[in-house]
Amino acid sequence: MTISGKQLIGGEWTAGDGGAFHAVNPTNGKRLMPAISIASNRQVEAAVRMAEAASKKFKHTPLNVRADFLRSCADQIMELGDELLERVSEETGYPRARAEGERARTCNQLRMFASYIESGDYLDARIDTALPDRQPLPRPDIRHINQPIGPVVVFGASNFPLAFSVAGGDTAAALAAGCPVIVKGHPAHPGTSELVAQAIAKAVNQADLPRGVFSFLIDQGHAVGAQLVKAPAVKAVGFTGSFAGGSALVALANQRPDPIPVFAEMGSVNPMFLLPQALKNNAASLAAGFVSSFTMGSGQFCVKPGLVFAVEGPHLEEFIAAASKLVADAAPAVMLNDRICDSFGKALDERISAGDLQILAQGKAPDGQKGFYSQVTLFGSTAATILEKPELLEETFGPASIIIRCRDESEMLNAARKLPGQLTATLHGTEQELADFAALADQLVEMAGRLVVNGFPTGVEVCHSMVHGGPFPATSDARFTSVGTNAIMRFVRPVCYQNYPEALLPPALRNHNPLGITRLVNGVRTAEPIA
């Protein structure tokens, strides 16, 4: 396929009316062809109208048809072959292996959702049959099912051009639920985004679905996104990005006459806690894993470990020495774009000039390279300083982390209690230590969506049980996840039918159970038909 720089609106590719821009290769600063056109207000309105019209039909699509469509999306993305992988690398600076891994993850989650919806579990079908002779009052026939919420807007993420963008987890979950999707592509990787949009458009055509089921729009700023969030026909938003960006979208959505949910994943510092015996046994290997984790993807992962807590002593000093040596050998890190690179540089300058942190080690400095490069940096501090300076607990998006010395175990627990909501928290300890530090583990569960034990938080497994979410400010709603099949619950709402004619009910609620799914019938889970 060829990148056109156009918008996809209801199955038709058309040049944007709002101007144009170019993607930039972050490794050398060169502009990439072609020019990318920008959607106009009129085109945004058209995409929303098409999605609203498609919603009426798409929500009634049989589960097997929708599942086959999701599998076709994955197949079409794979068919893009080297063209997609090369464009990912050109627009992000990621190596080919990273692009291949992210493509596999993207396609796997599409296929996972396909299998999941065929089971019917997400429908949560519940039936309480009528009890006309019940005293003192009869019970009517009541049947419950989850139905699609309506058109969903998905914002592509800068740091995951495939897995959290056009065909990423938000899109996969919304389409699986039966919701049309309008993707607002990220300007950092517009060519990658268009190629994936072309693949989905082809799958829509092959499945003979309404053309408004999927649209792709892009601009270089915030106008298109703001217009989409405010559009009356839009019923939910999926976003992965910064706290500032997510908060702005939540505010816009709440200003509507009919506020809608914004499911925003907004970043995290993902604290790690090194318990004494684990640190004594494995200081060098823990240091290697930690440095690899916080520099992975140039530190541009939302689950990068940005804080490490440990009780001071010789074993912590051994850990610091090993980590510092690895950091000192680190090459300059390629950042995704000039804005992220500048923001990271300013954040480092502010932290260094404030004098609250000690520089433990820095990697090799950028030396005249063209493109967007930053210096890997490892800071040190104390729990007392961190607790007095809450701004130090904020995410720094890039290859930097802080090792925090605690006077004792009590101070480490107190520090954990002061941390805001997180996507992840990590504990390294022996089994006995984990039992002894149960209060710390309990606190981390209260604070984070995923508790990692004797591992590292980078690497979010795509599986049914994964939770990628957490209390505010990590996300806008801690009740939900953006990874794993439970992510579909963001884009459905419950409805019940009371005394509705059995033959006119949704198939999942009919007596003979034509879908063969498991349902809760009069309080008992069963796949048997109702006599």
The full length of the chain comes to 531
Identify the CA nearest to 356 among candidates 382, 375, 377, 376.
382
Catalytic residue among 52, 102, 194, 265: 265
Catalytic residue among 73, 107, 302, 341: 302
- State the helix-helix crossing angle for 63-79 and 169-177, rounded to 10 degrees: 150
* CA–CA distance, 336 with 322 (Å, rounded to integer): 28
Identify the CA nearest to 307 among candidates 334, 358, 272.
272
**Are 502 and 108 in contact, with CB atoms under 8 Å apart?**
no
* CA–CA distance, 84 with 195 (Å, rounded to integer): 7
User: Measured on CA atoms in the order 446, 452, 453, 454, is the torsion positive or negative?
Assistant: negative
* CA–CA distance, 507 with 57 (Å, rounded to integer): 15
Q: Is 326 left (phi over 0), alpha (psi -120 to 50) or beta?
A: alpha
| 302 belongs to the catalytic site | yes
* CA–CA distance, 100 with 102 (Å, rounded to integer): 5
| 496 belongs to the catalytic site | no
**Side chain identity at residue 83, one-letter code:** E
Q: What is the 8-class DSSP label of residue 11?
A: T
Q: Which residues lie closer than 8 Å to 228 by C-beta, 6 or more apart?
A: 44, 48, 153, 182, 184, 217, 234, 237
The pairing of beta strand 181-185 with beta strand 214-218: parallel
The tokens for 179 are 């919701």
Measure Cα distances from 150 to 174, 177, 518 in Å.
9, 9, 25
User: Measured on CA atoms in the order 325, 328, 330, 335, is the torsion positive or negative?
Assistant: positive
Q: What is the 8-class DSSP label of residue 507?
A: G
User: Measured on CA atoms in the order 432, 436, 442, 444, is the torsion positive or negative?
Assistant: negative
* CA–CA distance, 160 with 238 (Å, rounded to integer): 14
Question: So which residues are the catalytic ones?
Answer: 265, 302
